[in-house]
A and B are shown apart, each in its own frame.
Chain A
């Protein structure tokens, strides 16, 4: 068997294992899939009418809430990666001829798949709540591409954070900043409406171009500048996460 196909088989075995883990942990399922929907209901029904965003709130908030659906899936991954490293099972894999990347690939793929389920749920809910899109199929494809890239980048960064943490508990805490970042972007309200300092931060942090590019695509009015910035951020974050994970993986255990 060639090295690549061996690595693919190993990664697939690991993915199955990680996916079972996700399904068996009710907290992960709740946080990853239901929590974003709950937040959506809260913002759209309870708070939304109090914000003046220049359009119906569900219309404004959906792209940002899709991002929340990604970030809320990440703590589970960080804890799971860290448990692998701290609970001894990793040593078992290391003394077997399992391809080095398979453990990490499994976590990343499971996270992206878990995210897609949560994203599908949130988009479905958005339509139920009155969200309408004027995007053509190509726009949709573009939006899905950027969302997938964000999920992929977030997953690699989370794997790195989970790997670097000392305990599963601190691993869960280490991704909390990622959960807060969307709130300090144009996800919930436009950055222009925020106070000084926060406004600048919101304008320049990675989530804003990601959300704005998705917002544009879903409205059928794509913006090339935002899309390029979004993909650039994703590529950078994914690369940092990937290299950091690999380095930590070979150093630990």
Chain B
């Protein structure tokens, strides 16, 4: 049986008159990765801030490791680690000094060893004596996460840990998250990227304008979304009609003059598709491959695009 280490029910938060979290409920199982997926302004950071004792909720209950975040802040703080959206590192200290600062504040025994091990593990040993102001974005994020790990927290909150990172640093982050989970740590992760949630999460909750619009495993969610498809655009209705007859399983949109053809997006099947059009001398104006993205999840779940910025 799995036990939940984070239990949230009826969580509400408003700033001024603006509702940011409109009654959300979810549970996170011990030792799992729970990902909250949503666009900018959906309320992800607000959720993290409430769960990590930085912000008081207006209503609802939140228990982290069995402790109420509103009344047992000390107990909650002693079991969590948080890596926020913006690297919370001290730029005027070296990497080693940053870690040492954490170790001293948490009264970690044999701090020197703990720090050395983390520097090694995060590939920061060589830059340990350099000031953080000279670090690259990826190195800062790594140091930030290393600082979070100093006290070996049971539950780690990662707020958009890879936003703004290059693909290589992103993969490194993913590796680290997987290692943490393998050690039994529970991870609460927010992200704007479906791919990231897909790669890491055991469960995903989709947050939109302060409400959870879907929850489930990555597979369950992807079933809700149109799969990979090719979109063709034609000059006129005649071509569109002809193509729709030739390409089985396609969906036409007469207003946009587009045809959506399901497929896996591999070069081979794309070539076959184009060959079919050629055979029937049908000319497409535009051709594009679409893989399921957060936008599609949003469109499917909420009926509006994720890119519609919601001002916080």
Chain A residues in contact with chain B, CB under 8 A? 1, 9-10, 13, 17, 20-21, 24-25, 87-89, 91-98, 253
Contacts and interface: CB of A to CB of B under 8 A. Distances in A.
Contacts of B106: 96-97
B80 A95 contact: yes
B101 A17 contact: yes
Given A13-B104, A24-B131, A89 B97 contact: no
A92 B82 contact: yes
Contacts of B84: 88, 91-92
Residue from the set A17, A21, A96 with the largest chain B CB neighbour count within 10 Å: A96
Interface string B218-246: 00000000000000000000000000000
Q: What 10 A-B pairs have minimum CB-CB distances, sorted nearest first?
A: A92-B88, A88-B88, A13-B104, A88-B86, A21-B92, A95-B82, A97-B77, A95-B52, A89-B88, A24-B92
B310 to A, nearest CB: 22
A91 B82 CA distance: 9
Given A91-B54, A95-B52, A95-B82, A17 B77 contact: no
Contact of B92 (A25, A94, A98): A25
Given A9-B104, A89-B90, A95-B82, 6 more contacts: A13-B104, A17-B97, A89-B89, A91-B82, A95-B77, A97-B106
11 contacts: A10-B105, A13-B101, A25-B92, A87-B86, A89-B90, A91-B82, A92-B147, A95-B80, A96-B105, A96-B106, A96-B151
A20 B53 contact: no
B58 interface: no
A20 B93 contact: yes
B151 to A, nearest CB: 8
Nearest to A1: B107
Interface residues of B, number: 27
Contacts of A1: 107
A17 B74 CA distance: 24
Interface in B123-151: 131, 147, 151
A96 B77 contact: yes
Contacts of B107: 1, 9
B269 interface: no
Contact of B105 (A13, A21, A25, A88): A13
Contacts of A92: 82, 84, 88, 147
A236 to B, nearest CB: 33
Interface in B52-95: 52-54, 74, 77-78, 80, 82, 84, 86-93
Nearest to B80: A95
Nearest to B131: A24
A96 B77 CA distance: 6
Contacts of B93: 17, 20-21
Nearest to A23: B92
Nearest to B151: A96
Contacts of A20: 92-93, 97
Nearest to A20: B93
A9 B101 CA distance: 12
Given A17-B93, A89-B89, A94 B54 contact: yes
Contacts of B86: 87-88
Nearest to B106: A96
Contacts of A88: 84, 86-88
Given A13-B101, A17-B101, A91-B54, A97 B78 contact: yes
Contacts of A21: 92-93
A236 B124 CA distance: 48
Nearest to A94: B54
Nearest to A21: B92
Nearest to A99: B105
Interface string B154-185: 00000000000000000000000000000000
A168 B86 CA distance: 17
A159 B233 CA distance: 63
Nearest to B77: A97
Contacts of B92: 20-21, 24-25
A20 B101 CA distance: 12
Contacts of A93: 105
Contacts of B97: 17, 20
A146 to B, nearest CB: 32
B86 to A, nearest CB: 5
Nearest to B101: A17
B104 A91 contact: no
A44 to B, nearest CB: 35
Contacts of B104: 9, 13
B74 A97 contact: yes
A253 B78 CA distance: 20
A97 B52 CA distance: 12
Contacts of B89: 89
A221 to B, nearest CB: 45
